[in-house]
Amino acid sequence: MNSSLLSGLNPEQRAAVELPAQSALILAGAGSGKTRVLTTRIAYLISSGQVTPHGILAVTFTNKAAKEMVTRLSAMLPINTRGMWIGTFHGLCNRMLRAHYREANLPQTFQILDSGDQLAAIKRRMKELNVDDEKYPPREMQNFISGSKEQGLRAHEVEAYDPYTKRKVEVFAAYDAQCQREGVVDFSELLLRCYELLSRNQSLREHYQERFKHILVDEFQDTNPLQYKWLKLLAGKSPSPQSSPENGRGGEREKQSSIFAVGDDDQSIYAFRGANVGNMQELLRDFHVENVIKLEQNYRSHGNILDAANALISNNRKRLGKNLWTAESGGEQLRVYEAPELRDPRGDRITGDIQEASFIVDEIQQLKREGINLSEIALLYRSNAQSRVLEHALVAAGLSYRVYGGLRFYERQEIKHALAYLRLMENTDDDNALLRIINFPTRGIGALSVGKLQEAAKMNGTTMWDAAARAGGKITAFVGLIEALRSATKELPLPEIVEHVLEHSGLNACYQNEEGKKQKESADRLDNLQQLISAASQFVQENEDESLTAFLTNATLESGEHQAGDSEDALHLMTVHAAKGLEFHTVFITGLEEGLFPHQNSIDNDDVDEERRLMYVAITRARRRLYLTYAQSRMLHGQTHYSRESSFLRELPEELLHWLTPRFTSRKTFQNNHFEKDSYTKAFAAVPMEKAPPAPSSMWRIGQQVFHQKFGEGVVTDTEGSGNQGRVQVNFKRAGSKWLALEYAKLTPI
């Protein structure tokens, strides 16, 4: 049996599977067969008689991974896997708490709150305690409570250095007390309650320590502090005085269980979720790990792709260290494309991000002609907001696609909210739009009030807007807000309409004050909202009808077109975070600009290591062909921004790169902390734009008479900035005073 299990394993994989019963760390590089090693290790331990299925505890990070492990085990061994303890941290803790609910001080039928239910419970506690939800946003409070629990802290253990934190601790304590009364737990509570159960109950702890002789952990680099503490308890590292090494009991206990941890510190990319890559170093120290095996043979990618990944990640300062290699050939060089900024025949600017998307579409169509299925191609980006321009180009080309692990641009919650404001401004009879935003952002209009409004509209045979106009109170204030938005934007160009609505509806402010885990999500939502301004600017450039109605119609059509069916061949669009664990024949890594990838936040904090790990993950998704693209200019917030290439490109060996474009800026390499210029000779078919010189600030002087195609004649009353990035304030005879962005205002001096 063991001979058949071990056949086909390479020497390092086999060494890992056959390790003695001691704690070990398996550094498993991308595409090195870690799932096979982990599953085969379990099968080997059982088939060799070292442990029964009853004595195995295997922890994964997703239910999908747990199911795959069970399926593989069933195929390897003639055993019943149903009773085995294989699952996620939350799933295993739930199972343990169900078995020992009395000891955990829980009812037998305790319920688990999802994120939405948890937020609602926190809001109720805040209302009872008269906590200002503007000073203490409920989602921020939710992040504070969950984050504290994931550090292993109860409310009374959180250090409150100031009145602000003290108030949050009060809500935390009230929320916990209410959950205990109701017999419910949230996701973070599952693990914390289970950890407390084991740490306080010596007999129960020793029962599970005796039972689980072998603890196996997948994706160990993604564990948070509390998860590692829970694992240490089960492995015999008890924090209680009774089992400390000083009294002679700890050493014996620690030998009874072993942790077989599989992970890759170079793929630790979830610090924003609380993951602590330092747990790998702590494991080596805490368990005196002597067995560190590196799985470096990659079965996924060609050699040039792996060489690029190795060169990049070698720049990280704190690594356990490994070097991927393959028995396959070097394969193609990595294809690099710098998207230029051009002007169309009318003289309008075509920003680099639009050129980047156009290039990608052309390459995908060529790949199709070469026989590559769309499902074997992935478009990766650092931020969700980048997908808009790509989606627009794919829709125009008739290429089907799926957004993996996320929503299409026009299906995202924040975009739907923004479009609902615009729709209601354009057509107050739109009840669906009204229902979506009447209490978003929160303005104290509850479900009961909305229900009464719907009933009034039904009884009187009117729209909800007509009923709202007569409702009074906070509903009338909402009506006033929409009317004010309509009035203020009546004569504005389309991009400025969108910008004004985002700012004055409260949508921007809604996402600006988040902390903790939700901070990154809210930052993504804000980026998406700013991309909506850019979408409006692009729409104006590409269409004769620049009206809000036309823009809303286009948004609806784009959201519904080319949605791939379950069985349809389709491209994959996703963030790099979502791509972890996946692989494709061809990968496009887009937006490789400094400040975008690596992200500006990491640059400002002098902590680019995790961004580099993210780039490493992106590179190692490709099996055969890899494109690296970036744009000279990109539309952000409705305005053109200029960038230089990502520093990650400069960390890749030049001999591995095939430049598809000449460099419009000097080729730079980073050596000895100085930039040195290199030359290049590649030809490029497209002609770069002849950039118009920036308009001097004196060109638009105060008092100057100007003409606008929509607003007519006016006089400049103020200026801000210069060139196409500047703005001018103009007092128009018919439309009044307005600030105009010179990027798209198209003013003509009189």
Residue of 146, 303, 305, 291 lying closest to 226 (CA atoms): 146
Residue of 93, 365, 407, 133 lying closest to 233 (CA atoms): 93
d(Cα 495, Cα 672) in Å, to the nearest integer?
A: 45
Q: DSSP H helical segments within 493-594, as ranges?
A: 494-504, 507-512, 517-542, 548-560, 576-579
Sheet holding 705-708, edge to edge: 736-741, 727-732, 712-720, 705-708, 748-749
Length of the chain: 750
d(Cα 749, Cα 704) in Å, to the nearest integer?
A: 7
HSE at residue 151, side-chain half, CA atoms within 13 A, is: 13
Q: Which residues does the annotation mark as catalytic?
A: 34-35, 218-219, 267, 621
Rounded to 10°, the helix 115-128/138-150 angle is 110
d(Cα 295, Cα 261) in Å, to the nearest integer?
A: 13
Contact 25, 183 (CB under 8 A): no
Find the helix or strand (DSSP H, E) in which 147 lies.
helix 138-150
Q: At 610, which amino acid appears? A: E
Could you tell me how far CA 215 lies from the centroid of its own chain?
30
CB under 8 Å, gap of 24 or more: what pairs does 699-704 form?
Answer: 699/749, 700/726, 700/728, 700/742, 700/747, 704/749
Residues 6+ apart with CB under 8 A from 117: none
Contact 21, 214 (CB under 8 A): yes
Q: Which residues pair with 293 in a beta bridge?
A: 26
Q: In sequence order, what E strands does 547-664 have?
A: 571-575, 584-589, 622-631, 633-636, 639-642, 657-659
The burial of 571, by beta-carbon neighbours within 10 Å (0-12 exposed, 13-18 middle, 19 or more buried), is given as buried
Find the helix or strand (DSSP H, E) in which 313 lies.
helix 303-313
User: Tokens representing 351?
Assistant: 């920003």
Contact 494, 544 (CB under 8 A): no
| 138 prior amide bond cis, ω within 30 | no
d(Cα 149, Cα 192) in Å, to the nearest integer?
A: 6
d(Cα 272, Cα 282) in Å, to the nearest integer?
A: 20
HSE at residue 424, side-chain half, CA atoms within 13 A, is: 28
Q: Left (φ > 0), alpha (ψ -120 to 50) or beta: where does 236 sit?
A: left
d(Cα 413, Cα 401) in Å, to the nearest integer?
A: 20
Collapsing DSSP to helix, strand or coil, 476 comes out as helix
